[in-house]
């Protein structure tokens, strides 16, 4: 029986305790965590109700069509905020042909409800799940392999990417998740690989065979995905690969694209290997030769990268940084890297080993919660308030972490310096002060709530500050912004 | 809560800080420096076309900004270089001798990762992750006494999260537009007390936040959070007599791998936003504009030739802008390497011939008056190869 370990399990590994949780898991906190490391029997209903990957992948073109915009998709792909219609070349009678048409407003009207639904689903699952460690891992992997809505053409993609790649493979081998990521339309579009063409491929040699609107896009090699795979997804930056390796991997991945129509195989909107765009011939990556002539070249290369010792080290460092400390203890990193290597990247074994790290059970909470986990833990703790998708987007945007809008392919930062600036700290205080007025009655005595959520982690200083508060609402606000509630 | 209440709430933290507080007793010097971080790598040859180079149109391979007078043509500067047509404000500043344009310039970073490139640009060492804090923060310890006196904050980031360039030991603050009502003064005081007892990092952050809120009193949120809104806010802070001497504003979305040409491209939109934001800022500064300099920098340039997707990829040399009433402008500073294939770095990038640190050093020493020895030793270690450029300020 350890309430302290229970608080660590629920807060450091989970998404924050709910009243009653600590007592329920105190008998075997480690066992409670490990029992969550199984594939999900079924998708949570709110996630199952979200659009399919193929539907997400087609959403951008559907918007272009519905609005009546014409011309190159890429003219709009990155610039939805231009405004003032009618648009040149718009289909007669379409919205885009009307005076006062705004591309930006049309974009928001089309994608806004979709985004709000996805956000509400993500938040609902996170605030109600009984498997919060598993849920944390899906968020972790969704951030490791970032696909961001910040790029308009992938606005709709992150929710299905997170569900069908990060979540689906959270208990799989890492190489399976890596391959799933590199064959998901979200990643292929986000990092431009879907339009990358091998120089000596048929499309590269005979652009005249390509229909004219596509020709402008499909003209050459794009290194973006290959570079980020090496730098962000597998080996890690400065791990010894060269620009030649980036180009070799980019060549290997030519032809990894998204099916645009039923012709040539592949369901529209899903992964398709396009041999006519694939750079022919063997490639040498990290000194290893890949002679395959087809999609298996990519599969082999990605598998090699997933099993590389630098990848084990890089992933171990990120996991230990995420769960334990901004400066990951080297011994803990070595332990996890070893498990990763020995198990060939078996994520269940790796996540079990994280629970077994002695460093994980240090009672001092070190990690500052980023805004979204902070909000999730507060809502789990108070049992409310209900927040819809648009409210979540506005609130978390103000706190500096609008979900699915990571600023770049490296995802959200995982160190305190990113989240403890004056403005984020102020925004949390603003929210705590506002919400506590609504939630004080429902959540009862704030000292008791603090004990229920933090166990022995509630410090004397915070307990006293809550006790001295002028009202239950003020006491609740102090609990919500206390150092031990903002950290885990 | 009004500004006075807030100041009372935070009075303790101000008194406790090492900075003497003689508001208005000795007039702070009026110099102001804004660093604008253009994240994503701005395409220097689109922002500042080099029409004087006989290889320009050929090398850009379809991405060349048309010459003045042609359809969609740019704005002439000195006969060799020009400006993108979306930068009319900057062209006006050039004519008013308030703008220096730098070209073929780069930080010491020579690889092609945004994250490493931005990290180096902000940490100020010659290596990514070479230092854990930011050069602009380290410079603050060397500000002359006149700039330190009577100031609530030396520096402010107009951003929801503190960028690396301003992270470090010197007290700095940040601000971004808000929607919720502010917490009452009593709650703030209690929370500040609690943090003071148990969590120095949170205590420091909250104290700084309170200062920024006091300064922003009555400002409210803007209609959006575009670059113009952020620059307007920066001006509001900096125009105050005791406002911060230094600000950082971020602009994102410059990573134009695809479809970067044409008036509706994201690149053109970004340039339009940059130009408008600088004008909004200049207007907001009023009289103080004459003492102000804005330095707009990016982590690296982009490839000279158009890539397979009608955009450009990560390159090396690029452009930067130094603009403001305090700038000795009306010049393009470039040791032009040329655009012949043989002159390009790795056969693809504009060869950098100037070091951005030389401009940054000049802004610190010649404009703000930071001790040169402090700049060479602490702010930009291992930077002997990049002496401060001379005569950039009037």
Q: What is the pLDDT of residues A91-131, one digit of tens each?
A: 888 888 877 677 767 888 999 999 999 999 999 999 999 99
- Alpha carbons B128 and B317: distance in angstroms, whole number: 17
A438-442 — which CB contacts under 8 Å span 24+ positions?
A438/A385, A439/A382, A439/A384, A439/A385, A439/A476, A440/A471, A440/A472, A440/A473, A440/A475, A440/A476, A441/A472, A442/A382, A442/A383, A442/A384
Query: Which positions of chain B have pLDDT values less than 50?
Result: 1-28, 218, 220-225
Q: Where does B171-330 have alpha helices with state H?
A: 185-198, 200-216, 227-239, 266-285
pLDDT more than 90, % of chain A: 76
DSSP SS3 for A429: helix
Contacts of A327 by beta carbon, 8 Å cutoff, 6+ apart: A321
The half-sphere exposure of A230 on its side-chain side, counting CA atoms within 13 A, is 24
Q: Are B393 and B328 in contact (CB under 8 A)?
A: yes
pTM of the model: 0.72
Say what the pLDDT of residue A236 is: 96
Does residue A168 share a domain with residue A50? yes
d(CA A147, CA A157): 7
Phi-psi region of B129 (alpha: psi -120 to 50; beta: other; left: phi over 0): left
Q: Residue B76: which H helix or E strand, with range?
A: strand B75-76
Residue partners of A343: CB distance under 8 A and separation at least 6: A349, A350
Among residues A227, A90, A249, A341, the alpha carbon closest in space to that of B117 is found at A227
Cβ of A430 within 8 Å of Cβ of B180? The answer is yes
Please give the mean pLDDT across all residues of chain A.
Answer: 92
What does the alpha-carbon distance between residue B342 and residue B340 come to, in Å, rounded to a whole number? 5
A133: in domain: yes
Of A178, A169, A311, A179, give the one whose Cα is nearest residue A240: A311
- Contact between B194 and A462 under an 8 Å Cβ cutoff? The reply is yes
Please, what sign has the CA dihedral across residues B250, B256, B259, B263?
positive
Q: How distant, in Å, are the alpha carbons of A35, A263, B42, B172 from that of B266?
A: 48, 32, 11, 32
Same domain for A328 and A376, yes or no, is: no
Same structural domain, A296 and A326: no
CA distance A222 to A251: 9
Q: Does A329 touch chain B if contact means CB atoms closer than 8 Å? A: no
**pLDDT value for B217:** 57
- Residue A121 belongs to some domain of the structure: yes
Q: Judge whether A37 lies within some domain.
A: no
Evaluate whether residue A163 is within a structural domain. Answer: yes
A421 plus A334 within the same structural domain:
no
Residue B26's pLDDT is 35
ipTM: 0.90
Cα B154 to Cα B140: distance, rounded to the nearest angstrom = 7
pLDDT value at residue A73: 52
HSE at residue A135, side-chain half, CA atoms within 13 A, is 24
The boundaries of the domain holding residue A296 are 186-306
Q: Which B-chain residues 144-163 have CB contacts (< 8 A) with chain A?
A: 157, 159-162
**Gap from A28 CA to chain B (nearest CA, Å):** 30
CB contact residues (below 8 A), chain A span 193-252, against chain B? 195-197, 216-224, 227, 231, 237-238, 243
One domain for residues A92 and A191 = no
- Is B258–A433 a contact, with Cβ atoms under 8 angstroms apart? no
Query: Of A326, A345, A361, which residue constitutes the final position of a domain?
Result: A361
**A220 three-class SS:** strand
Residue A162 has pLDDT above 80, yes or no: yes
Interface of A with B in 59-118 (CB under 8 A): 72, 74-79, 81-82
Q: Which residue of B has its CA nearest to A366?
A: B199
What topology does CATH give the domain B34-184+242-379? Alkaline Phosphatase, subunit A (3.40.720)
- Reduced to 3 states (helix: H, G, I; strand: E, B; else coil), residue A388 is coil
Chain A contact set for B161 (CB, 8 A): 400, 413, 418-419, 421, 423-424
Q: Do A237 and B128 touch (CB under 8 A)?
A: yes
Distance CA A36, CA A24 (A): 15
Are residues A471 and A386 both part of a single domain?
yes
Residue A13 falls inside a structural domain: no
Q: Which residues pair with A283 in a beta bridge?
A: A290
> Assign residue B97 a region: left if phi > 0, alpha if psi is -120 to 50, beta otherwise?
left
Looking at per-residue confidence, does A158 or B71 come out higher? A158
CB contact under 8 A, B187 and A227: no
| A429 close to B (CB below 8 A) | yes
- Say whether A368 sits in a helix, a strand or coil: strand
- Among A91, A168, A185, A84, smallest CA distance to A134 is for A168
CA-wise closest residue to A136 among A35, A37, A260: A37
* C-alpha pair distances (Å), A487 with each of A125, A356, B65, B378: 22, 21, 51, 33
Contact yes or no for B153/B172 (Cβ under 8 A) = yes
Helices and strands counted in chain A (H then E)? 26, 4
Give the domain-ending residue among A118, A139, A172: A172
Answer whether residue A390 shows pLDDT above 80: yes
Which of A278, A306, A334 corresponds to the end of one domain? A306
Give the closest of B174, B195, B253 to A422, CB-based: B174
pLDDT above 80 (res A78): no
Does the beta-carbon distance from B313 to A478 stay under 8 Å? no
pLDDT score for A334: 98
Please give, rounded to a whole number of angstroms, the shortest distance from the CA of B382 to a CA of chain A. 21
pLDDT one-digit tens code per residue, A295-328? 999 999 999 999 999 999 999 999 999 999 999 9
- Tell me how crowded residue B20 is: count the other CB atoms within 10 A of its CB: 11
pLDDT of A266 > 80? The answer is no
Is residue A430 situated within a structural domain? yes
Higher per-residue pLDDT: B5 or A402: A402
- Closest-CA residue of A relative to B256 is A78
Number of domains in chain A: 4
What is the chain A residue with the closest CA to B114? A408
**Please, which residues have CB within 8 angstroms of residue A205's CB and are 6 or more apart in sequence?**
none
- CB-based contact (8 Å) between B384 and chain A? no
Report the share of chain A in percent with pLDDT over 70.
94
Helix (H) or strand (E) holding A213: helix A212-215
Check residue B351 and report its DSSP letter.
P
pLDDT band at A264 (very low <50, low <70, confident <90, very high): low
A39 pLDDT above the threshold of 50: yes
Spatial distance between the Cα atoms of A110 and B282, rounded to a whole number of angstroms: 37
What is the b/e burial string over B259-294, where b = at least 16 CB atoms within 10 angstroms of the residue's CB? bbbeebbbbbbbbbbbbbbbbbbbebbeebbebbbb
Indicate the length of chain B as a whole number: 394
pLDDT confidence of residue A318: 98
- How far is B365 from B373, CA to CA, in rounded Å? 9
- Which of B130, B170, B212, B264 to mutate to test binding with chain A, by most A CBs within 10 Å of its CB? B264
For B173, the closest of A74, A407, A422 (CB atoms) is: A422
> Looking at the structure, do residues A387 and A459 belong to the same domain, yes or no?
yes
């Amino acid at each position: 029986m350890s309430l302290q370990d229970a608080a660590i399990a629920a807060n450091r590994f989970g998404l924050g305790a709910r009243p009653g949780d600590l007592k329920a898991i105190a008998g075997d906190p480690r066992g409670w965590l490990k029992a969550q490391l199984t594939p999900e029997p079924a998708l949570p209903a709110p996630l199952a109700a979200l659009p399919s990957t193929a539907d997400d992948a087609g959403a951008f073109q559907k918007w272009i069509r519905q609005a009546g915009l014409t011309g190159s998709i890429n003219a709009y792909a990155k610039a939805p905020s231009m405004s003032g219609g009618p648009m040149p070349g718009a289909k007669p009678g379409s919205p885009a042909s009307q005076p006062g048409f705004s591309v930006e407003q049309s974009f928001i009207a089309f994608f806004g409800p979709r985004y709000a639904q996805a956000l509400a689903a993500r938040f609902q699952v996170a605030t109600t799940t009984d498997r919060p460690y598993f849920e944390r891992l899906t968020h972790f992997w969704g951030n490791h392999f970032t696909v961001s809505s910040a790029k308009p053409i992938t606005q709709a993609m992150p929710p299905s990417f997170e569900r069908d790649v990060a979540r689906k493979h959270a208990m799989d081998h890492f190489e399976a998740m890596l391959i799933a990521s590199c064959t998901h339309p979200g990643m292929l579009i986000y990092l431009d690989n879907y339009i990358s063409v091998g120089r000596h491929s048929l499309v590269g040699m005979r652009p005249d065979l390509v229909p004219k609107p596509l020709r402008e896009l499909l003209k050459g090699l794009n290194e973006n995905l290959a570079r980020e795979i090496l730098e962000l997804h597998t080996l890690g930056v400065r791990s010894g690969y060269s620009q030649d390796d980036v180009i070799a991997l980019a060549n290997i991945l030519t032809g990894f694209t998204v099916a645009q129509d039923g012709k040539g195989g592949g369901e529209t909107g899903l992964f398709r290997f396009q041999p006519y765009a694939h750079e022919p011939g063997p490639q040498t990556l990290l000194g290893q030769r890949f002679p395959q002539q087809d999609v298996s070249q990519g599969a082999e290369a990605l598998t090699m990268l997933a099993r590389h010792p630098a990848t084990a080290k890089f992933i171990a460092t990120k996991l230990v940084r995420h769960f334990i400390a901004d400066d990951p203890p080297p011994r803990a990193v070595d332990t996890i890297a070893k498990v990763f290597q020995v198990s060939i990247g078996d994520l269940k074994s790796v996540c079990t080993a994280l629970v077994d790290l002695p460093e994980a059970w240090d009672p001092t909470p070190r990690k500052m919660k980023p805004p979204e986990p902070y909000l999730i833990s507060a809502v789990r703790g108070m049992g409310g308030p209900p927040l819809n998708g648009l409210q979540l987007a506005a609130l978390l945007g103000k706190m500096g972490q609008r979900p699915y809008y990571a600023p770049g392919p490296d995802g959200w930062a995982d160190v305190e310096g990113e989240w403890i600036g004056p403005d984020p700290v102020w925004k949390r205080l603003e929210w705590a002060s506002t919400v506590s007025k609504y939630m004080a009655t429902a959540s009862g005595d704030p000292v008791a709530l603090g004990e229920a959520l933090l166990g022995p982690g509630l410090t004397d200083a915070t307990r006293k500050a809550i006790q001295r508060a002028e009202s239950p609402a003020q006491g609740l606000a102090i609990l919500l912004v206390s150092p031990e509630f903002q950290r885990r | 809560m009004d500004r006075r209440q807030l100041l009372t709430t935070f009075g303790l933290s101000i008194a406790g800080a090492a900075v003497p507080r003689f508001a208005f007793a000795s007039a702070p010097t009026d110099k102001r420096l804004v660093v604008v971080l253009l994240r994503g790598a701005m395409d220097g040859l689109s922002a500042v076309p080099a029409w004087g180079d006989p290889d320009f149109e050929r090398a850009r391979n379809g991405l060349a900004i048309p010459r003045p007078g042609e359809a969609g043509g740019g704005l002439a500067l000195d006969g060799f270089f020009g400006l993108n047509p979306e930068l009319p404000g900057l062209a006006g500043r050039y004519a008013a001798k308030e703008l220096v344009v730098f070209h073929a310039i780069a930080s010491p970073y020579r690889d092609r990762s945004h994250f490493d490139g931005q990290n180096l640009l902000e940490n100020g060492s010659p290596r990514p992750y070479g230092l854990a804090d930011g050069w602009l923060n380290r410079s603050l310890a060397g500000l002359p006494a006149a700039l330190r006196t009577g100031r609530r904050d030396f520096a402010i980031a107009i951003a929801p999260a503190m960028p690396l360039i301003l992270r470090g030991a010197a007290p700095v603050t940040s601000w971004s537009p808000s929607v919720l009502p502010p917490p009452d003064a009593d709650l703030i005081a209690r929370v500040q007390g609690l943090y003071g007892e148990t969590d120095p990092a949170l205590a420091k952050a909250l104290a700084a936040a309170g200062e920024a809120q006091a300064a922003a009193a009555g400002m409210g949120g803007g209609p959006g959070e575009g670059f113009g809104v952020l620059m307007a806010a920066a001006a509001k802070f900096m125009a105050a007599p005791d406002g911060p001497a230094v600000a950082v504003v971020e602009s994102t979305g410059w990573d134009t791998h695809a479809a970067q040409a044409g008036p509706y491209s994201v690149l053109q939109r970004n340039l339009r936003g940059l130009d408008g934001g600088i004008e909004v800022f200049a207007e907001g500064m009023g009289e103080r504009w004459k003492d102000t300099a804005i330095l707009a920098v990016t982590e690296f340039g982009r490839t000279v030739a158009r890539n397979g997707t009608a955009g450009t990829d990560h390159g090396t040399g690029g452009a930067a802008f130094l603009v403001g009433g305090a700038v000795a402008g009306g010049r393009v500073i470039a040791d032009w390497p040329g655009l012949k294939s043989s002159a390009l770095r790795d056969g693809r990038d504009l060869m950098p011939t100037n070091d951005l640190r030389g401009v940054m050093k000049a802004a610190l020493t010649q404009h703000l008056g930071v001790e040169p020895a402090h700049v060479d030793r602490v702010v930009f270690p291992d930077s002997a190869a990049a002496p401060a450029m001379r005569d950039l300020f009037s």
